[in-house]
């Protein structure tokens, strides 16, 4: 684009140098089945901290501690965690005042009268400013080594499904009866976002808190050695991470962090989901996708046809399946989401036992797509050509299967999908008549993405059912 200081040059530019108008956006309607996703979320609790997403002031992000003995009881949810549970958080630091580094502190308290061991089975945390900057990437890249990512949520999702465990988290904490310990202290520089996921297991009941504090100033008086004639000391200011006492004071005396996000509303005029802060229920969705409940095969589509399963559906985006996959909330703050919409960091572990019931060899494709969100109509998906510019999904997916030569394959793909994007197939397999082939799909829903996506199975052949139209509902 020419700078504003050259208006005459712009006015006199030949027509050949004027950028053409962008093509008109049109809808692509795929007539196909949209099926409810078999299975369900497990019962693993998730300490789910995503509100406020943008932090401007110090405070309590999420606390399950008891309310008694605290200055602001409404900032605590009074809920213990025991056995297997997860910790997830995603927050951005934008201080309203002095531009200081924010620290995120995770506190754990043994609520019992006996020692408790907290195992850290896996822990991953990334910053966009240092570890995983947002960069422009192609829509689909194969990523065998985990070196492709854009943003902390993207990198986190790829590492978690690979089993990466960062070494600077402890492998375990042993807490004495009634002992309070720090599990992690993580800096979030100004205007940075941090995404964190931990798979944890406690041998007894514990309370947990996720807190936000800025680095603390320390003032010292020193003589100016460069000016020997000046005997007056000068004040020197240094900034240090918060101490354990600072964290304890915030836990017992602090308020909820600000600014608060918009409260949820299911008004018919405008549906507001809100952001999540509480204990959600569900860490994994395990399912075998079959033709019938308790079946053992998934019959491939007829040549030229497809069917899809929505992933991470919400109240207003079920694609006609009436299936809301958002995790329920065990406890939450009153101004935060009613469900864990988006299912950030939930692992979809899906098995597709593909079966060719035709008398010819068929080529089958497996694809992840981002159609326009719909509440109704389970007989079509609607895409945009070209897609909207806004990115709806950045993350990784793993596919495991036996290829056409009988070799076991494990392939990772990094995807960047915009609203309404059809996407290219991830893999293709050729099934002889009567063949069955298992395809395993691992899909960790990344933070900072927008649902829903769909998992689509297609069979190669002449397609007559895709309609390009200026309307999402063309005449039949």
* pLDDT band at residue 219 under the 50/70/90 scheme: confident
Is there a single domain that holds both residue 228 and residue 297?
no
Torsion of CA 152, 156, 158, 160, to 10 degrees: 180
Residue 384 pLDDT greater than 50, yes or no: yes
Res 302: pLDDT: 96
Report the distance separating Cα 153 and Cα 446, nearest Å: 5
Res 32: pLDDT: 93
**pLDDT (mean) for 48-70:** 97
Would residue 125 count as lying in a domain?
yes
Taking the CB of residue 214, how many other CB atoms lie within 10 A of it?
22
Residue 15 pLDDT greater than 50, yes or no: no
Is there a single domain that holds both residue 317 and residue 456?
yes
Residue 398 pLDDT greater than 90, yes or no: yes
**pLDDT tens digits for range 172-190:** 999 999 999 999 999 999 9
Q: Which domain holds residue 95?
A: 52-253
Percent over 90 (pLDDT), the chain: 80
DSSP characters for 138-185?
Answer: -SEEE-TTS---SSHHHHHHHHHHHT---TTS-SEEEE-TT-EEEEEE
Is there a single domain that holds both residue 294 and residue 398?
yes
Residues 6+ apart with CB under 8 A from 368: 311, 397, 415, 417, 423, 426, 443, 453, 454, 455, 456
Edge to edge, the sheet with strand 466-469 lists 380-385, 26-31, 466-469
**pLDDT tens digits for range 226-283:** 666 666 676 777 889 999 999 999 999 999 999 999 999 877 678 899 999 999 999 9
End-to-end Cα distance, the chain: 43
Res 97: pLDDT: 85
Is there a single domain that holds both residue 231 and residue 367?
no
Instruction: Check the CA dihedral 153-264-186-88 and report its sign.
Output: negative
Is there a single domain that holds both residue 36 and residue 84?
no
Res 216: pLDDT: 84
Q: Is 320 left (phi over 0), alpha (psi -120 to 50) or beta?
A: left
Is there a single domain that holds both residue 210 and residue 64?
yes
Report CA-CA distances (Å) from 130 to 96, 190, 191, 194, 393. 22, 12, 12, 10, 21
Would residue 8 count as lying in a domain?
no
Is there a single domain that holds both residue 224 and residue 292?
no
Would residue 10 count as lying in a domain?
no
Q: How many distinct structural domains can be found in the chain?
A: 2
Is there a single domain that holds both residue 388 and residue 346?
yes
Is there a single domain that holds both residue 57 and residue 36?
no
Would residue 463 count as lying in a domain?
yes
Is there a single domain that holds both residue 68 and residue 195?
yes
Res 316: pLDDT: 87
Taking the CB of residue 82, how many other CB atoms lie within 10 A of it?
15
Res 227: pLDDT: 65
Is there a single domain that holds both residue 239 and residue 289?
no
Instruction: Check the CA dihedral 6-12-14-15 and report its sign.
Output: positive
Q: Kindly report the CA angle at 439 between 365 and 418, in degrees rounded to 5?
A: 50
Residue 60 pLDDT greater than 50, yes or no: yes
Res 13: pLDDT: 36
**pLDDT (mean) for 299-321:** 94
Is there a single domain that holds both residue 66 and residue 205?
yes
Residue 475 pLDDT greater than 50, yes or no: no
Residue 18 pLDDT greater than 70, yes or no: no
Res 3: pLDDT: 34
């Amino acid at each position: 684009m020419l700078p504003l200081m050259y208006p005459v040059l712009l006015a006199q530019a030949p027509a050949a140098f004027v950028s053409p108008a962008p093509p008109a956006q049109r809808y692509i309607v795929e007539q196909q089945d949209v099926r409810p996703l078999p299975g369900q979320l497990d019962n693993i609790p998730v300490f789910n901290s995503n509100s406020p997403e943008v932090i401007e002031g110090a405070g309590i992000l999420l606390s399950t501690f008891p309310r008694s003995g605290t200055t602001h009881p409404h900032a605590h949810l009074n809920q213990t965690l025991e056995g297997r549970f997860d910790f997830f958080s995603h927050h951005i630091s934008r201080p309203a005042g002095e531009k200081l580094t924010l620290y995120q502190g995770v506190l754990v308290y043994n609520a019992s009268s006996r020692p408790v061991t907290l195992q850290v089975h896996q822990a991953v945390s990334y910053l966009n400013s240092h570890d995983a900057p947002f960069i422009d990437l192609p829509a689909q890249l194969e990523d065998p080594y985990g070196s492709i990512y854009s943003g902390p949520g993207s990198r986190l999702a790829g590492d978690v499904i690979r089993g990466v465990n960062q070494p600077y988290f402890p492998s375990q904490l042993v807490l004495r009866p009634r002992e309070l310990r720090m599990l992690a202290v993580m800096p979030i520089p100004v205007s940075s976002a941090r995404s964190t996921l931990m798979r944890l297991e406690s041998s007894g009941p514990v309370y947990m808190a996720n807190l936000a504090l800025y680095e603390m100033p320390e003032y010292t008086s020193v003589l100016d050695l460069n000016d020997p004639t000046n005997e007056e000391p000068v004040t020197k200011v240094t900034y240090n991470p918060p101490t354990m006492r600072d964290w304890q004071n915030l836990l017992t005396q602090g308020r909820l962090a600000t600014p608060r996000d918009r409260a949820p509303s299911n008004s018919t005029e405008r549906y507001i989901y809100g952001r999540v802060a509480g204990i959600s229920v569900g860490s994994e969705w395990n399912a075998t996708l079959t033709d019938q409940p308790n079946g053992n095969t998934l019959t491939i589509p007829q040549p030229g046809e497809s069917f899809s399963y929505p992933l991470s559906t919400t109240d207003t985006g079920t694609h006609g399946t009436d299936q809301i996959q958002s995790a329920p909330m065990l406890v939450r703050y009153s101004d935060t989401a009613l469900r864990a919409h988006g299912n950030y960091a939930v692992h979809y572990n899906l098995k597709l036992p593909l079966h060719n019931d035709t008398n010819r060899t068929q080529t089958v494709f497996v694809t992840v797509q981002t159609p326009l969100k719909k509440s109704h109509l389970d007989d079509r998906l609607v895409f945009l050509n070209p897609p909207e510019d806004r990115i709806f999904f950045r993350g990784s997916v793993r596919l495991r299967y036996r290829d056409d030569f009988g070799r076991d394959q494990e392939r990772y793909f990094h995807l960047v999908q915009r609203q309404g994007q059809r996407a290219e197939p991830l893999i293709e397999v050729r099934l002889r008549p009567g063949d069955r082939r298992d395809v395993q799909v691992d899909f960790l829903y990344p933070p900072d993405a927008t649902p829903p996506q769909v998992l689509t199975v297609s069979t190669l052949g002449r397609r007559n059912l895709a309609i390009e139209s200026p309307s999402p509902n063309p005449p039949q």
